[in-house]
Amino acid sequence: MSAPVLLEVHDLAVSFGATPAVKGVSFDIKRGETVALVGESGSGKSVTALSVLQLLPYPVAHHPRGSIRFQGKELVGAAPRDLLAVRGNRVSMIFQEPMTSLNPLHTIERQVNEVLILHKGLSRDAARKRTLELLDQVGIPNAAERLGAYPHQLSGGQRQRVMIAMALANEPDLLIADEPTTALDVTIQAQILTLLKALQAKYGMALLFITHDLGIVRKVADRVCVMTKGEIVEQGAVADVFDRPQHAYTKHLLSAEPKGRPAAADPNAPVIVKLDDLKVHFPIKRGVLRRTVGYVKAVDGVSIALREGHTIGLVGESGSGKTTLGLALLRLERSQGGIEFDGQDLQKLSQRDLRPLRRQMQIVFQDPFSSLSPRMSVGEIVGEGLEVHGIGTAAERTKMIDDALREVGLDPAARERYPHEFSGGQRQRIAIARALVLKPRFMVLDEPTSALDMSVQAQIVDLLRDLQQRHKLAYLFISHDLKVVRALADEVVVLRDGKVVERGPAAQVFGQPQTPYTKALIAAAFNLESVA
């Protein structure tokens, strides 16, 4: 006997003002089933998901037509009281960008507790105990010590795991997962997917899984719906759609993946960035007087030399110190040890003396939405650095902004729009354009492709390669996506618990990894049973 239909979406349309974003989408999800919604950035996946819980910004966004029924009850236009009974209780959602979904002023314990106390009526002690169980389930190490932490004190992957814990707290009937593993390293991805499948089996939970990673879809989904330009162009069983795709767009998605290898770089090129025994230790304070009782050694004695025109791929699990290292290198995080850029000791420079060098050292942050001002248009965001450094006339700056947007695959006509009007992947491209417009010599790229679909990942990789060859750019490429690292990096440095556990030419590290940790990372990334 077939499972009953839990969610039914019929002829759903969504418009932002006069602009249609979703056009006549129809699909259903049965109890215990996993349906994947796939497509490129801007295809309407997240808008469709937000519509289920009626979380779109009304009245700017509205439904010209369509129906969304959960357990037979209509959600479109439902009363706030009825929606409150569903949201976070019977239907939960893991959002795409955890930094903007978590309250920066509240501890992790308070944010997870809130869900349990509001919907379950648990006492503080009971909520605390359940919170510890949830954090342990989603792979937060030393969960008891993390209860008092704030979102900014966690890595991107750890923040995403907290979001997953919050969504699972009330054992929902339907879990909507919007890119739930985007910020996670490959080994934790596998753990989270296994966890979701186990919880799904235990509670009979249905799962609407939104992703651009088709490899994940093949592993977890029963059925798949392929979206482009606001429409579902193909849907069916995963095996049927993946093995015998009918629509040209589906075929395009399945063939898209970052390919190739970095061009041969000059081995004698001058060293542009050098780190010597770099350390970043965060104090652990306890008690009424907040005495320091120990240190979190986020980066613990790392030395790196990066040459002009070269790329170092920095890999490791979430919390290994990758992002902290990148921030410290740019003097955006306090550190000890040597930091040299183009022969200058950055540790000895004042902020005023450091400012002219900022143009030559740029960063693309992991979470694009939290790094883009919601009050500035895209043109203002991309052009801000040009104004700060006094580059060009107003007309020249306009042309440079347009050129930068074209380079990352965005229409210059979008320059007057604001970040909230773009998809997650499009916002990441804006962040890349903001860094590229200054024509820097060195860039820290912190998960720059994590929010991008496969085809755009390939475009960005090709773009970064092209820019590197033309301008002799040096990249510190931080990523958990080892396929992208392999396509870009000349050298790979593997971090674990703030220390370098392996390093070497990319071909050597990927072809003949030496440490068990590196072997496990590569096996998880490339679905290998073992690595020789």
List pLDDT tens digits, range 202-242.
888 999 999 877 878 888 899 999 999 999 999 999 999 99
> Distance between CA atoms of 211 and 218, rounded to whole angstroms?
11
- Report yes or no: 250 and 241 within 8 Å, Cβ to Cβ: yes
Tell me the residue type at 48. Answer: T
Q: How does residue 529 score in pLDDT terms, banded at 50, 70 and 90?
A: very low
Q: How does residue 532 score in pLDDT terms, banded at 50, 70 and 90?
A: very low
Q: Which two tokens stand for residue 343?
A: 């022969």
Task: Encode burial over 233-263: b for 16+ CB neighbours within 10 A, e otherwise.
Answer: bbbeebeebbeebeeebbeebbebbbeeebe
Q: Does 73 fall in a domain?
A: no
Residues 111, 113, 117, 120, Cα dihedral to 10°: 110
Mean pLDDT is lowest, of 62-76, 282-296, 355-369, for 282-296
CATH of residue 425's domain is 3.40.50.300
Q: Do the strands 311-315 and 474-478 form a parallel or antiparallel pair, or are they unpaired? A: parallel
Between residues 451 and 81, which one has the greater pLDDT?
81
> Distance between CA atoms of 75 and 80, rounded to whole angstroms?
10
288: Cα separation from own chain's centroid: 37
Residue 324 predicted with pLDDT over 70: yes
Which tens digits make up the pLDDT trace of 89-102?
A: 899 998 877 767 88
Residue 277 predicted with pLDDT over 80: yes
Q: Does 424 fall in a domain?
A: yes
**In 271-371, where do the E strands start and end?**
271-286, 291-307, 311-315, 336-341, 344-345, 361-364
Residue 163 predicted with pLDDT over 80: yes
Q: Does 322 fall in a domain?
A: yes
Q: Which residues pair with 125 in a beta bridge?
A: none
Q: Does 99 fall in a domain?
A: no
Mean pLDDT is lowest, of 248-252, 300-304, 501-505, for 248-252
Neighbours of 156 (CB within 10 A): 26
- Report yes or no: 467 and 459 within 8 Å, Cβ to Cβ: no
Question: How confident is the model at residue 531, as a pLDDT?
Answer: 39
Per-residue pLDDT, averaged over 9-38, amounts to: 93
- Report yes or no: 301 and 278 within 8 Å, Cβ to Cβ: yes
Domain enclosing residue 446, as ranges: 310-332+352-526
478: Cα separation from own chain's centroid: 12
> Distance between CA atoms of 468 and 441, rounded to whole angstroms?
9
Residue for token pair 């022969």? 343
Between residues 184 and 93, which one has the greater pLDDT?
93
Residue 260 predicted with pLDDT over 90: no
Q: Which of 315, 357, 342, 274 is nearest to 445 (CA)?
A: 315
Which tens digits make up the pLDDT trace of 390-415?
A: 898 999 999 999 999 998 888 999 89
Q: Does 114 fall in a domain?
A: no
Q: Counting beta carbons within 10 angstroms of the beta carbon of residue 343, is it exposed (0 to 12), middle (13 to 18) or buried (19 or more)?
A: exposed
3 state DSSP class of 522: helix
Q: Does 90 fall in a domain?
A: no
Q: Does 302 fall in a domain?
A: no
The alpha carbons of the chain give a radius of gyration, in whole angstroms, of 23
Residues of the chain with pLDDT > 70: what percent?
A: 97
- Report yes or no: 442 and 361 within 8 Å, Cβ to Cβ: yes
3 state DSSP class of 315: strand
> Distance between CA atoms of 129 and 380, rounded to whole angstroms?
47
> Distance between CA atoms of 265 and 506, rounded to whole angstroms?
13
Q: How far apart are the first and last CA of the chain?
A: 46
Tell me the residue type at 389. Answer: H
Mean pLDDT is lowest, of 84-88, 195-199, 353-357, for 195-199
Per-residue pLDDT, averaged over 313-342, amounts to: 92
Residue 202 DSSP class: H
Residue 273 predicted with pLDDT over 80: yes
Q: Does 381 fall in a domain?
A: yes
Residue 421 DSSP class: G
Per DSSP, the chain holds a count of helices (H) and strands (E) of: 21, 21
Question: How confident is the model at residue 451, as a pLDDT?
Answer: 64
Per-residue pLDDT, averaged over 19-33, amounts to: 93
Q: How many structural domains are present in the chain?
A: 1
Question: How confident is the model at residue 143, as a pLDDT?
Answer: 87
- Report yes or no: 208 and 52 within 8 Å, Cβ to Cβ: yes
